Amino acid sequence: MFVWFLVFGFWLNFYVGMLYGYIESKMSEQIRSFIAFDIQNENLVNRIASVQKLLMQTNADLKLVSPKNIHITIRFLGVISPEMVDKVYEVMKKVKFVPFNIQLQGLGVFPTVNYPRVVWAGITLGAAQLRNIFEQLEPMLHDLGLAPEPEFNAHLTIARVSSGANKQRLVDFVTRHQEYEFGNIKANCLRLKRSQLSPVGPTYTTLKEYSP
């Protein structure tokens, strides 16, 4: 009886170990992803970085987005499987647009000035085209089984607010720079990006790209 118990325990541990290994391998395959336009204008990126330095001088509790990671998100997809990557890419290739200019202008916060959680750079010229791309993607992504995105606001996140420390100084700075002009970029390549999180910040890599 004791021997049988030892044998049963051995095989139970063996199969549990295999199950955990299978679950961990599947979890490691999952891809946190989004569809976006990258900012490929060095002068504009430098201007954003300069504004970020000024934001830090407000002594607000901010976590800056690395200038190399700043992008225009069209659609956050969440966690998808490797198989879904190719399906999303096929959807991207059905989007109709011609390369267009985007003008980045002004600072603002989400959700409100009374409770700022995100500092963003605004988009004036090109906002309508970006919305159109989102509206083309949305029903096709929903058909793939992805949860619907309720709304689209064209912007670039440049900082996240961690607490209410020196909130008024932050809001005053943003208010004074509501018309600040960052510059223009050309939107000509839609990219499916992977986001890998780490204690030092996310790393973004391009999985697929589509240029009409």
CA 24 → CA 19, 60, 127, distances in Å?
9, 39, 41
Q: Is the dihedral of CA 84, 89, 94, 100 positive or negative?
A: positive
Residue 136 φ then ψ, to 5°: -70, -40
Collapse the DSSP code of 133 into the 3-class scheme (helix H, G, I; strand E, B; otherwise coil) and give the result. helix
Closest CA to 83 of 172, 207, 209: 207
Q: One of 47, 71, 193, 208 is an active-site residue; which one?
A: 71
Residue 144 φ then ψ, to 5°: -80, -5
Q: One of 36, 39, 62, 155 is an active-site residue; which one?
A: 155
Structure token digits, residue 75: 């659609």
User: Could you confirm whether 155 is annotated as catalytic?
Assistant: yes
Identify whether the C-beta of residue 110 lies closer than 8 Å to the C-beta of residue 120: yes
User: Could you confirm whether 71 is annotated as catalytic?
Assistant: yes
> Parallel, antiparallel, or unpaired for β 203-210 and 62-64?
unpaired
Give the catalytic positions in this structure.
71, 155
